[in-house]
Amino acid sequence: MTESDAARTNRPILAADIDLSDMAFLTVAEVAGVMRVSKMTVYRMVHSGELPAVRVGRSFRVPAKAVREYLSAAYVETQ
Nearest to 31 by CA among 65, 73, 76: 65
3-7, 24-28, 63-67: range with lowest mean pLDDT: 3-7
Residue 7: pLDDT band (50, 70, 90) is low
Each residue's pLDDT tens digit, 39-75: 999 999 999 999 999 999 999 999 999 999 999 998 8
pTM > 0.85: no
26 in Cβ contact with 61 (< 8 Å):
yes
Nearest to 60 by CA among 31, 36, 35: 31
CA–CA distance, 18 with 62 (Å, rounded to integer): 17
